[in-house]
Amino acid sequence: MRVIVLLWLACLTTPLAHAAGEPAGERERIAIIGTGNVGAALGRRWGALGHEITYGSRDPATAQVAALVADSGPRARATTPAEAVRDAGIVVLAVPWTAAEEVVRGLGDLDGRVIIDPINPSRFADGRVELGHPGLAEQIASLAPGAEVVKALNTTSYRNMLEPPADASITVPLAGDGAEALARVARLVAELGLEPRHVGPLYNARYLEAMGNLYIYVNVFQRPEPRLEYRF
Ligand SMILES: NC(=O)c1ccc[n+]([C@@H]2O[C@H](COP(=O)([O-])OP(=O)(O)OC[C@H]3O[C@@H](n4cnc5c(N)ncnc54)[C@H](OP(=O)(O)O)[C@@H]3O)[C@@H](O)[C@H]2O)c1
């Protein structure tokens, strides 16, 4: 049993054994809710790697969304958020934190889905970046009890999702409770050319949300060169 657990942890805590930018094998049906910076970056990259991308947008018929679909692999499409999740295995919530609860409620039945939550509940006030929520990922999980939520991709910029460093030197911490869900998300993160690292149960997502706010504070207010990136 101990050996199995150690092997599982090794899978999650080391970069996967394929080169950045190469698909690991299994193709996923990925619904991406939101067509902004993060949604578009992930859809473009995963679509190019052969995953099936369905964007869920409030306005799926715009020219901007059509251009994004055309750039997101041969099987990409756009529709409403509720329709997008219907056949999906993975659901990415690439929406503002203030809209998250309403968006999740509007998606309907999410049983069996893996939800990737990259959301930073950030509120700018008096030169600070405050946490707008004490534990958003867990709240999302409570709204979708039949799904597995994995907090991921909230601690780096969408720019690194689009163009990762050649040496996969940016760590993407993942918090979640389901081993299979974590493994699938880790594989998708590694395919982007980033380094997935499991950092514990979904409870710990609150710490990733704080790390996300710290990342935003440093890069927005201190503006270091090079930018702050997390590497474990
Ligand atoms: N920007 C980054 O580098 C970065 C990095 C890590 C994590 N994040 C997190 O990822 C999430 C998305 O960030 P983003 O930069 O992609 O944001 P964004 O460019 O503002 O895009 C958010 C998208 O969410 C959709 N949406 C749904 N309901 C909405 C509502 N009520 N108001 C506004 N948009 C709504 C919109 O897509 P439709 O119009 O198609 O519905 C919109 O384009 C945020 O929670 C953010 O904290 C961002």
> Which residue puts its alpha carbon closest to atom 30 of ligand 1?
99
Spacing, Cα 100 to ligand 1 middle (Å): 10
Instruction: Kindly give the number of the ligand 1 atom that is closest to the alpha carbon of 99.
Output: 31
What pLDDT, in 10s, does the model give residues 189-217? 999 999 999 999 999 999 999 999 999 99
Instruction: Please give the number of the atom of ligand 1 that sits closest to the Cα of 155.
Output: 6
Ligand 1: residue of 45, 93, 95 to mutate (most ligand atoms within 8 A of CB) is 95
Alpha helices, H only, the chain: 2-13, 37-48, 63-70, 81-84, 97-106, 136-143, 158-162, 179-192, 205-217
Residue 167 has pLDDT above 80, yes or no: yes
Kindly tell me if the per-residue pLDDT of 20 is higher than 50: no
Average the pLDDT over 59-85 and give the result: 98
CB 175 within 8 Å of CB 204: yes
| Predicted pLDDT at 26 | 87
Nearest CA to ligand 1 atom 21: 36
d(CA 121, CA 222): 20
Query: What are the distances in angstroms from CA 214 to CA 64, 107, 121, 163?
Result: 32, 30, 12, 22
- Give the single-character DSSP code of 219: I
Tell me the HSE value of 191 on the side-chain side, using a 13 A CA sphere. 23
Atom of ligand 1 nearest to the CA of 93: 11
Q: Quick one: CA dihedral 139, 14, 155, 157, positive or negative?
A: negative
119 ligand 1 Cβ < 6 A = yes
Report residue 33 as tokens.
Answer: 């809710």
* pTM: predicted TM-score of the whole model, two decimal places: 0.92
Give the whole-angstrom CA distance, residue 170 versus residue 182: 18
pLDDT level of residue 15 (50, 70, 90 thresholds): very low
- How far, in Å, is the centroid of ligand 1 from the Cα of 38? 7
pLDDT above 90: percentage of residues in the chain: 88
Average pLDDT over residues 7-27: 45
Residue 35: half-sphere exposure toward Cβ, Cα within 13 Å: 26
For residue 51, the 8-state DSSP code is: -
What are the residues facing 117 on neighbouring strands? Answer: 151
| CB atoms near residue 93 (< 10 Å) | 28
Q: Does 35 or 17 have the greater pLDDT score?
A: 35
Q: 4 C-alpha vs ligand 1 centroid, how far in Å?
A: 38
